[in-house]
Structures are given as structure tokens and as C-alpha cells.
Amino acid sequence: MEWESFLHILGQYGYPGLFIYLWVGIFIIPIPNEVIIMSVSIAAEQGLLNPGFAFITAYAGILFAITSIYFMGRFTGAHLMGYFNRKKKFKRLIYRSKRLLNKYHAFSLSISYFIPGMRLFLPFIYGFSKLSFLTFALFSYTGALVWLSLTFFLGYQLGDEFDRILMYEKEALLVLLVLSALYVFFQLYKRAGIRGKDAVKETGKHSLKQEKRA
């Protein structure tokens, strides 16, 4: 069982095991990151792990994972893209990732960590496109931090109710996705407001220039 394998890693290797799992284990043992982080935060709430160390270790593992995927796309993307395009599942992910990237540009990296599947594939597409690492780090690391904070806090608050969550995993993930969607909506609304203010300023400047000419 994948879940038992993860618990074994966490119990036997502690923080290093958590870090290694979130870095490379996610490609081998397919457990949703939401479930992993919530279980870690519950273990912290029960005193089995230190909350601060658990959070930092989880964040470090996530950063190493998405950074590795970015460089994989940057240096081996040309070879792997042909393989991905032949697989229906990956082909769909490529299309969705490119559409998200074209629509929201670098901000799509912040959004992507709230979308299972996309969170690991968009960094690959970003790296394959040879886009700036600094921009990648700024947006993806920030998005991952916000996602981790929300998920960790939720798991910490749930405590002993986690067994019920495992029984209703899909419903629990749906709640997380709704919370994530609200966050994304807020960020887009905020960004649109900033653009709107900039547009008003530009319009005002343009009007002043016309008046001066007149």
C-alpha cells in the first residue's frame, strides 16, 4: 500500500525521509501531496514531529522537487517532449500547461501548485521554454509556500479527524481545491485592480499631454 510505504519512510527516517520523499518519492509512490502534508501537520499537532522543522523540511523537499523538474525541462526537455507527446495523458497535460502559461504567463506557476498534476508538469514546460530561472523561482516558490501554509494549517486544525478524511479523500481534496480556487481568484482580482489603476494613470497622462498640445 502506498500510504503504508509513506508512513514507514516517515517513521523510520523522520525529517530526512520526509525531505527525500517530497523531492523524489512523489514520482515513485503516487500519494496526493495534500494527504502527505496534512498527515505530517497532524503528526506535528500530536507532538510526533516539531511543527517548525516539519514545515521547513516539507517546503525544502517541495522546492527541490519543482526546481529539479525545471532543470530537467531546461536540459533534457527536447528529448522527453517527444515521448510525452506520444502519451495521451501527458499530451493533455502539455496542452493545459501551455494554455495556462500563455494566459497568465509567470503567474501561472503560482496557480499551478494548486492544481494536482499541473504542479509538477508546468515547471517542466517552463524550463523547456528556456524561461528565466529567477522568474520561475519567484512565482513557483511563492505559490508553493502559500499552498503549503494553507494545507499544513488545515491538517494541524483537523487533528484526530484525519482518519475520516482518508475515508472521504476525494471530498477532502475538493474542499482544498475550492480554497485554492478562492486564493487564485483573489490574486487575479488583485492583479486586475493594479492593471486597472495603471491604465487609468496612463489615460490621465495621455489626456494631460493632449491638453498641453491644445
Convert the pLDDT of each residue in 82-113 to its tens digit: 777 777 777 787 788 888 888 888 888 888 88
| Other residues' Cβ atoms within 10 Å of the Cβ of residue 90 | 17
Asked whether 187 and 110 are in contact (CB, 8 A), the reply is: yes
State mean pLDDT over 145-160.
Answer: 81
pTM given for the model: 0.70
Closest to 98 measured CA to CA, from 87, 86, 85: 85
Orientation angle between helical segments 133-158 and 51-86, nearest 10 degrees: 120
- Amino acid symbol at 7: L
The C-alpha angle with vertex 170 and arms to 167 and 173, in degrees rounded to 5, equals 110
> Coil, strand, or helix at residue 23?
helix
Pinpoint the alpha helices (H) of the chain: 2-23, 33-45, 51-86, 88-104, 107-112, 118-128, 133-158, 162-167, 169-213
Give pLDDT tens digits for 192-213.
555 545 543 443 444 445 444 5
Res 79 pLDDT > 60: yes
> What is the structure's pLDDT at 194?
54
- Cα-Cα-Cα-Cα dihedral sign, residues 98, 100, 103, 105: negative
CA distance 156 to 94: 34
Q: Give Cβ neighbours of residue 163 (< 8 Å, ≥ 6 apart).
A: none
> Coil, strand, or helix at residue 28?
coil
State mean pLDDT over 16-32.
Answer: 79
State mean pLDDT over 53-67.
Answer: 94
> What is the structure's pLDDT at 122?
87
Q: b/e string for 183-208 if b means 16 or more Cβ within 10 A?
A: bbeebeeeeeeeeeeeeeeeeeeeee
Q: Name the average pLDDT for the chain.
A: 75
Asked whether 75 and 81 are in contact (CB, 8 A), the reply is: no
